[in-house]
Amino acid sequence: MSQGKRYLELAARAGGNSRELDASYRAAFYLLSYDPELKKEAERFVSYEGINFAAMKRATRGFDETSRQIIDIAHNLFSWTSNCKVTPFDISRLGYPHTQQVCDAFYIAFEQIKLVFEFDENNQIKMTLDASPYQRTQRIHRNLEQMQEEMLAGFEKLPSENDELER
């Protein structure tokens, strides 16, 4: 089963499809759906009322450290006030593909990356990431930097007060 299918199953348990869920749900489900075993455990704690991360954390005490860190990060992205013990150093040590998944989830939570669901050539659900909102932000930032550089260059060409006094 693909990550896209696992994700949509979690979304359905929460009572919605991917488009109806807010960014917090999308980021959490993106992380929880990557690993089949983690998704299987997580689905027990997803309902119309939300995600019971406290119970999920208790139930996954025997899981490996990486899975528990992923759950902690998903919890924090879902509930911004939750205490997250995972540090940036810990994230840097997750390794591929987990570090990439976490970084993608950050952008999903910030609505800079969108999840896109399509059927592949085998009629299986395929989930891809649409980074066009993030790319638009990059273009705007580059344009603002260029405008700032042009303005500063224009100011350098203006006569200074000292030049006026010397005349």
Which of 82-91, 124-133, 156-165 tops mean pLDDT? Answer: 82-91
CA distance readout (Å), 153 to 142, 143, 146: 16, 15, 11
Record the pTM.
0.82
pLDDT of residue 151: 82
CA–CA distance, 2 with 107 (Å, rounded to integer): 21
Kindly compute the dihedral angle of the four CA atoms of residues 58, 59, 65, 71, in this order, to the nearest 10 degrees.
-80
Domains of the chain by residue range: 3-130, 132-167
The phi, psi pair for 62, rounded to 5°, reads -85, -5
> Which residues does 101 contact at the CB level (< 8 Å), separation at least 6?
30, 31, 34, 70
CA–CA distance, 63 with 57 (Å, rounded to integer): 10
Listed residue (35, 40, 72, 66) closest to 53, CA to CA? 72
- What is the tens place of the pLDDT at every residue in 22-69? 999 999 999 999 999 999 999 999 999 999 999 999 999 999 999 999
- What is the tens place of the pLDDT at every residue in 99-143? 999 999 999 999 999 999 999 888 889 999 999 887 888 888 888
